[in-house]
Amino acid sequence: MTPDRIGEGLFSRFSHPKLHLTSLSQRQIRRFMKTQSIRSAAGILISTAGKIPTDKTGAPDLGQVLGRAPYDNVHLVEHDMSNLQGKGDWPNRAITLRQLSPEYGNTHVVNPHYFGDILRTQKNSTKTVFLMVGAARAKRRNDHLVINAAEQLITAGYKNFEIRLVGKLDSLEVPLSLKDNFVKIGRLSFSELYNEVENCDFLLTAFQKDNPAHAFYRTTGTSGSLQLCYGFAKPGIFQRDYIEGTAINLENSLLYDEDGDMFDVMRFGIKMSSTQYELMQAAMVDSASKLAKRSQSNLGALFGE
């Protein structure tokens, strides 16, 4: 990995006396990938397939990356399977973070969601905190979904909540009536993001089932909010169509169907007792644990263990 990722705290919660994180510049990575030691490796895992060059057909060109190294045990993590559709056998070799529809290939699910030493926090007692990572962005036309739900909550007498927005905000305009309920945080380092996740109650997403700008998240890709839910034992709020092939379910998260239903699930979250919340957290831990075991088994099978 490059030094920037370490500097942003990607692995800031990892701690082990034998753990050493090595960083290389992009130029050093390119040189290292063609060394003799790589050619003698039992297996190679490339964590982001989209970072490597492609050939004339658009398929991954391992020759440019690895030189003459054997490619039989090279595995790629593809974050958008549309990139590999129709590219030979790659759709059946790729690793994905969730189970996709067979039309995109028989991929191997390996989902890493261990963030290191984290605090499993209880539900906030004074106000319910909803965290949006990636935030409500105008160009995706879903900012109104969150704002409308918040306005309904205020009208219905629920003022004990806070929506915290992390990520690029695209000049999102929040009505003056909601100034006490929205916090625009903006972009954060990974270390700062982890603190926000620990202190929130729910990971809030604003997917719309009929919005073509969101189709990627339910077809060929996934959402980083899922990883945070799994790793920090946080219930999420998701549109039903977006949980297929994931470990999200009715026991560990709150689900909505139509846009107008977001008010109902957010109200349910605000009214949820600490006991109900702990049960939902426990269900998330159980779901994440099963996903981790499946991932370990699939990864071991890929590398012949």
Query: Hey, what are 119's tokens?
Result: 């605090």
pLDDT at 2: 65
Based on the number of CB atoms within 10 Å of its own CB, is 276 exposed (0-12), middle (13-18) or buried (19 or more)? middle
According to CATH, where is 3.40.50.2000 located in the chain?
A: 128-286
pLDDT tens readout for residues 222-239: 999 999 999 999 999 999
Q: Is 128 helix (H, G, I), strand (E, B) or coil?
A: strand
Residues 6+ apart with CB under 8 A from 286: 252
Q: Does the pLDDT of residue 4 top 80, yes or no? A: no
pLDDT at 139: 53
Among the listed residues 139, 177, 146, 187, the one whose alpha carbon sits nearest the alpha carbon of residue 163: 146
Give the pLDDT mean for 292-299: 96
Distance (Å, whole) CA 152 – CA 136: 17
Q: Does the pLDDT of residue 143 top 70, yes or no? A: yes
The distance from CA 131 to its chain's CA centroid, rounded to whole angstroms, is: 13
Q: pLDDT band at residue 90, thresholds of 50, 70 and 90? A: confident
Q: Is the domain covering 128-286 a CATH 3.30.70.1230 domain?
A: no
Among the listed residues 120, 287, 283, the one whose alpha carbon sits nearest the alpha carbon of residue 201: 120
Distance (Å, whole) CA 197 – CA 272: 19
Give the pLDDT mean for 252-272: 97
pLDDT at 43: 83
Q: Does the pLDDT of residue 3 top 60, yes or no? A: yes
**Candidate from 80-84, 245-249, 270-274 with smallest mean pLDDT:** 80-84
Distance (Å, whole) CA 46 – CA 58: 17
pLDDT at 135: 54
pLDDT at 284: 98
Give the pLDDT mean for 144-153: 94
The structure tokens 């290191």 sit at 116
Q: Does the pLDDT of residue 21 top 80, yes or no? A: no
In this structure, are strands 128-133 and 254-256 parallel, antiparallel, or unpaired?
Answer: unpaired
Q: Does the pLDDT of residue 248 top 90, yes or no? A: yes
Q: What is the mean pLDDT of the chain?
A: 90
pLDDT at 85: 85
The pTM for the full model equals: 0.91
Q: Does the pLDDT of residue 116 top 60, yes or no? A: yes
Q: Does the pLDDT of residue 281 top 80, yes or no? A: yes
Among the listed residues 269, 118, 260, the one whose alpha carbon sits nearest the alpha carbon of residue 201: 269
pLDDT: is 145 or 1 the higher one? 145
Q: Does the pLDDT of residue 49 top 70, yes or no? A: yes
Percent residues over pLDDT 90 in the chain:
59
Based on the number of CB atoms within 10 Å of its own CB, is 126 exposed (0-12), middle (13-18) or buried (19 or more)? exposed
- 8 Å CB contact between 165 and 137: no
**Candidate from 80-89, 201-210, 283-292 with smallest mean pLDDT:** 80-89
Query: Hey, what are 176's tokens?
Result: 């003056």
pLDDT: is 144 or 117 the higher one? 117
pLDDT at 37: 78
Q: Letter for the amino acid at 173?
A: E
The radius of gyration of the chain from alpha carbons, rounded to an integer in Å, stands at: 21
Q: Does the pLDDT of residue 78 top 70, yes or no? A: yes
Distance (Å, whole) CA 253 – CA 233: 10
- 8 Å CB contact between 118 and 232: yes
pLDDT at 228: 97
Distance (Å, whole) CA 235 – CA 225: 10
Q: Does the pLDDT of residue 1 top 70, yes or no? A: no
